[in-house]
A and B are shown apart, each in its own frame.
Chain A
């Protein structure tokens, strides 16, 4: 057997991943980076500089939009965690065998429908002439149609719904690895439901909580469809700004700079979150 054979095997196995990373992630980003450094000083005249990045900090609309997007994404992450944790605990610890699989599949089921269709589902429910509005009128609780779309709360509802699975999966996985005897020992030594949860279950589930939060936060921050459809024209989502620069304004240089800013700032927020929860990326993903 050739000594280099395992190495060759590794290279061949890694090749699709490396090609994918290089061609679809690194190459466009390098190109975007150079694009973002081009300052337009006159039609078809460019200079190299950071003016496109400066624009983000000078124009309050841009960084306000980013701050708002980041804040609402963090809120979405927290709400998703609060809803997903009991669900995951129930699936992982309370159920056995068949019911466990059934509930898990039920969590997965909405993802067989495209995000667009799911979001339209919410619109059918929430719009002025929608189902909920009609039910409320029929029940006599309101005397005129209610518009429930195009508010911040609607955006968060939509994002939480879209993100749920990405929180449930890592949580169920880490909670399942928690041996029941730890929970029993927690009670046996005098703990109650609250202290066992705080001292034993949550510290054990921390890697799952953090990885779920990172995924949900990144997905919400980078989401385009849900905020636009449920939030309407005033949703002021940062991805919308990037879209506008690229497509509406045809200002690719500015759009690229915004794209990079989104990447850098969201990475900083994730890094801050990891520091705050005293987790490292490697033990979260491992």
Chain B
């Protein structure tokens, strides 16, 4: 990269920098008053060009940041958006589980439901009840999987229970590449560990307060892209 710092700032203004470069420039803007002034001027210049400059001396950034710094750290900012507990508060989730269980027990003779065990075949999103598992409420699982995908713009295509404590989900990326994520709700079984080592990137993280293990793999995308995707799941 032969670009000067000014040129890279110009690229940042246009959203043309890589995430790595963005981080570096953000640090530069923060630490170097000269660079900060240049960034401010570049933005004012753009506003002037577009007829949106109302006051050349306007700068509300200091007051916004001082307000943000004076308020307590917002806890959810440090957790990922797909965390289970955000969507299903525990008390609500428990009530739903009881109601669902009660309903199924009552309705099973009517609906002729003989087998609640995990299915081996991939479920369709339109018919999620095929993979019902008593231990893991399915609607919660599906929301979790959809939100996992939203971290990297992945559309959930299908998923299946691979064991009592694990789900395998397939996603499609915007450019039609496929990514597979295995979610283990407890630790990874010993028998599975070696397979996972060979098949992708394994992360230990949390869903709400519960530890989960994610294995991200794909036979279509590069390792660096796979690493980028897996980085989106890290919680601080």
Query: Are A and B interaction partners?
Result: no
List residues of chain B with CB under 8 Å of any chain A CB: none
A residues whose Cβ falls under 8 Å from a Cβ of B: none
